A and B are shown apart, each in its own frame.
Chain A
Amino acid sequence: MTNSKTVWHKSWNLPGQRDATEQACQELLEAARRHGYDENEVFGVHLALEEAFMNAVQHGNRGDSNKRILAESLITPEKIDISITDEGSGFNPEGLPDPRHGDNLYKCSGRGVLLIRAYMDVVEYNERGNCVHMIKFRDKEGRIRKALNSE
């Protein structure tokens, strides 16, 4: 996963408990801040991480704290790259109902994957559906604004 531009890299093998994933989350966010990612970017990565870890603990591992969660992240000057894998049987992300439509709007759950997709630039799942790979590019919106203004 690393390459020559990698400024930070870490792998975790975590028990399926929220306090363990929270610690990993904070380590990654601190590293992102240290390497110059701004608060908007950190907010988006934080939200995506919380939702992905929550899905892994609650839905993937079904709350079984004996099951593990593997996480890996690298930071380069251009991007934050994260993979999170649980021990569950996986799910089909394309089969999820859209929480923004109809009666789904009034449901108490089902918004995590929507938020992950909204805040990360790349979101992909493995075939089994128990591993999510996410990328946040640095200042993508800023670069787009600059590109629009220079036209």
Chain B
Amino acid sequence: MDQMSPNLQIDYHGNVAVATLTDEKILEDEQIQALEGSFMPLIEQSENIQLIIDFSNVKFLTSSVLGLLIRISKKVYEKNGKLRLCAIEPKIMDVFRITRLDKIFEIFPDQDDALVGLKR
């Protein structure tokens, strides 16, 4: 473990930052703000960031989290980076499909698959 904020664990695999969401439920404004406060400086600090967000602990989320993911993706692309999501459980994946966000995010079954093709 390299860095830990209350809602996020960040591990580095070479040049790839893997951010694991630690909360099982993400629905409160405070949680969203805390996550945004952790993600944005991380992305700002590095040009060409390669970021994987791991959802393996997440069992419930609301549309506010989807909004946060869009803001994160815009910031990553501003910095010429790459963003991938992984380990999204089936019920949460349905939320991505219903909103069609599965079409705009690169989503992988697990961290190992998400790391393939990124520059380590």
* Chain A residues packing against B (C-beta within 8 Å): 18, 22, 40, 43, 46-47, 50-51, 54, 99-100, 105-109, 111-112, 114-115, 118
- CA–CA, A80 to B91, complex, Å? 20
Binding site for A on B (CB under 8 A): 27-29, 60, 62-64, 66-68, 70-71, 74, 91, 95, 98-101, 103-104
**B104 CB contact (under 8 Å) in A46, A54, A106, A114:** A106
Q: Is the contact region of chain A dominated by helix, strand, or loop, or is it mixed? A: helix
Q: Is the CB of A114 within 8 A of B101?
A: no
- Contact A115/B98 with A40-B91, A51-B62 known, Cβ cut-off 8 Å: yes
Kindly list chain B residues whose C-beta atoms are within 8 Å of the C-beta of A18: 28-29
B60 near A112: Cβ-Cβ < 8 Å: no
Contact A108 B70, beta carbon cutoff 8 Å: yes
Contact: B60 with A46, CB < 8 Å? yes
Q: Are B67 and A109 in contact (CB-based, < 8 A)?
A: yes
Which listed residue (B28, B68, B70, B98) contacts A118, Cβ 8 A?
Answer: B98
Partner of B99 from the list A46, A54, A100 (CB cut-off 8 Å) is A100
Interface of B is mostly: helix
Q: Which residues of B contact A43 (CB under 8 A)?
A: 60, 91
A107-B71 Cα distance, complex, nearest whole Å? 9
Contact status A99-B70, CB under 8 Å: no
Q: Chain A contacts of B64 at CB under 8 A?
A: 54
Contact across chains for B70 and A107 when beta carbons are under 8 A apart:
yes
- Taken together as a complex, chains A and B put the C-alpha atoms of A112 and B99 apart, in Å, by 10
Chain A min CB distance to B98 (Å): 5
4 closest cross-chain pairs (CB), A and B: A108-B67, A111-B63, A100-B100, A118-B98
Q: Can you report 9 A-B residue pairs in the complex whose CB atoms are below 8 A from each other?
A: A51-B62, A51-B63, A54-B63, A105-B103, A108-B68, A109-B67, A112-B63, A114-B99, A115-B99
Question: How far is it, in angstroms, between the C-alpha of A54 and the C-alpha of B66 when the chains are bound?
Answer: 14
Alpha-carbon distance A50/B71, docked complex (angstroms): 21
**Nearest Cβ on chain B to A97's Cβ, whole angstroms:** 13
**Bound Cα distance from A109 to B99, whole angstroms:** 11
Which residue on chain B has the smallest CB distance to residue A55? B63
Contact indicator A99/B62 (Cβ below 8 Å): no
Contact indicator B104/A99 (Cβ below 8 Å): no
Instruction: List A contacts of B60 (CB < 8 A).
Output: 43, 46-47
Q: Which residues of A contact B91 (CB under 8 A)?
A: 40, 43
Inter-chain contacts of A108 with B (CB < 8 A): 67-68, 70-71
Contacts A43-B60, A50-B27, A106-B104 aside, 4 further interface pairs with beta carbons under 8 A come to: A50-B62, A105-B100, A112-B62, A114-B99
